[in-house]
Structure 1
Amino acid sequence: MTDDQLRRWADLLCDYCLGVKPGEVIALGSELEGRPLVEACYRAIVRRGAYPVVRLDLPGLAEYFVEHAPEAMLSYLPPLSLYEAQAVDARIRIAAEHDTKAMSRVDPRRQAAVDRTRAPLRREAMKRRWVLTQFPTPAYAEDAGMSLAEYEAFVGRALFLDRDDPVAAWVDLGRSQAGLVEFMSGVSDLHIEGPETDLRLSVAGRTWINSDGRRNMPSGEIFTGPVEDSARGRLRCSFPVCRGGREVSGIALEFEGGRVVRASADSEEAYLHSMLDLDDGARLLGEIGLGLNPGIDRFTGSILFDEKIGGTVHLALGQSYPETGGVNTSALHWDLILDLRRGGRITADGSLVMEDGRWLVG
Structure 2
Amino acid sequence: MTTANTAYDPHKHALLLADYCLGVQPGHRVLVQTTTLALPLVEALHRLLLERGATPLLRLEYPEQTNDFQRLASDALLDAAEPVLLAEVESIDSSLRIETPRAPVSGLDPLRAARNRKALAPVARARALRRWSLTLYPTEFGAQAAQMTPAEYGAFVSSAMFLDFSDPVAKWAEVRELQATLIERLARAREVRIVGKDTDITMNIEGRTWVNSDGKRNMPSGEVFISPVETSANGQILFDIPTIYAGASVQGVRLTFQDGRVTQASAEEGEDALLAALDIDGGARILGELGIGSNAGIQAPSRNILFDEKIGGTVHLALGNGYPETGGTNVSALHWDLIKDLRGGGQILLDGEVFQDGGKFV
Scaled by the length of structure 2, what TM-score is found?
0.97
Specify the alignment match of 1:55 in structure 2.
59
Specify the alignment match of 1:100 in structure 2.
103
Q: For the residues of structure 2 that align with 1:225 and 1:334, how far apart are their CA atoms?
A: 13
Q: For the residues of structure 2 that align with 1:162 and 1:271, how far apart are their CA atoms?
A: 37
The 5 Å alignment of 1:222-233 reads 222-233=224-235
Indicate how the Cα distance of structure 1 residues 69 and 298 shifts in structure 2: closer, same or farther if over 3 A, else same.
Answer: same
Q: What is the deviation of 1:55?
A: 0.8
| Contact persistence 2:7–2:158 (CA under 8 A) | no
Q: What is the deviation of 1:211?
A: 0.2
Q: For the residues of structure 2 that align with 1:138 and 1:13, how far apart are their CA atoms?
A: 22
Q: For the residues of structure 2 that align with 1:40 and 1:272, how far apart are their CA atoms?
A: 37
| Contact persistence 2:6–2:155 (CA under 8 A) | no
Give 2:292's match in structure 1, choosing from 290, 293, 296.
290
Q: For the residues of structure 2 that align with 1:27 and 1:3, how far apart are their CA atoms?
A: 27
| Contact persistence 2:7–2:154 (CA under 8 A) | no
Give the AA of the match of 1:80.
V
Q: For the residues of structure 2 that align with 1:267 and 1:200, how far apart are their CA atoms?
A: 26
Give 2:257's match in structure 1, choosing from 255, 278, 286.
255
Specify the alignment match of 2:345 in structure 1.
343
Specify the alignment match of 1:113 in structure 2.
115
Q: Does 1:269 align with 2:271?
A: yes
Q: What is the deviation of 1:71?
A: 0.7
Indicate how the Cα distance of structure 1 residues 3 and 14 shifts in structure 2: closer, same or farther if over 3 A, else same.
Answer: farther
Structure 1, residues 208-252: CA drift from partner, whole Å, max 9, x if none? 000000000000000000000110000001112320111112111
Q: What is the deviation of 1:3?
A: 9.7
Q: Does 1:10 align with 2:14?
A: yes
The 5 Å alignment of 1:1-362 reads 5-97=9-101, 99-102=102-105, 104-360=106-362
Moved more, 86-95 or 217-226: 86-95
Structure 1, residues 111-165: CA drift from partner, whole Å, max 9, x if none? 1110100011110110001111000000111111111000000001000011121
Structure 1, residues 273-313: CA drift from partner, whole Å, max 9, x if none? 11111111111100000000111001000000000000000
| Contact persistence 2:78–2:119 (CA under 8 A) | yes
Structure 1, residues 168-193: CA drift from partner, whole Å, max 9, x if none? 00011111111111211111101100
| Contact persistence 2:287–2:318 (CA under 8 A) | yes
Q: Percent identity at matched positions?
A: 46
Indicate how the Cα distance of structure 1 residues 237 and 36 shifts in structure 2: closer, same or farther if over 3 A, else same.
Answer: same
Give the AA of the match of 2:77.
M
Give the AA of the match of 1:180.
L
Give the AA of the match of 1:336.
L
Q: What secondary structure does 1:201 align onto?
A: strand
Q: What is the deviation of 1:315?
A: 0.2
Scaled by the length of structure 1, what TM-score is found?
0.97
Q: Which ranges of structure 2 fall in alignment gaps of 5 or more residues?
A: none
Aligned-CA RMSD value? 1.4
What is the aligned residue count? 358
Q: For the residues of structure 2 that align with 1:271 and 1:27, how far apart are their CA atoms?
A: 29
Q: What is the deviation of 1:67?
A: 0.7
Indicate how the Cα distance of structure 1 residues 189 and 4 shifts in structure 2: closer, same or farther if over 3 A, else same.
Answer: closer
Indicate how the Cα distance of structure 1 residues 3 and 263 shifts in structure 2: closer, same or farther if over 3 A, else same.
Answer: closer
Q: What secondary structure does 1:190 align onto?
A: strand
Q: What is the deviation of 1:270?
A: 2.2
Q: For the residues of structure 2 that align with 1:36 and 1:105, how far apart are their CA atoms?
A: 31
Q: What is the deviation of 1:253?
A: 0.7
| Contact persistence 2:7–2:151 (CA under 8 A) | no
Q: What secondary structure does 2:298 align onto?
A: coil
Indicate how the Cα distance of structure 1 residues 173 and 273 shifts in structure 2: closer, same or farther if over 3 A, else same.
Answer: same
Structure 1, residues 62-91: CA drift from partner, whole Å, max 9, x if none? 211111111111111111110001001111
Structure 1, residues 294-352: CA drift from partner, whole Å, max 9, x if none? 11001000000000000000000000011110100111101110100011011101111
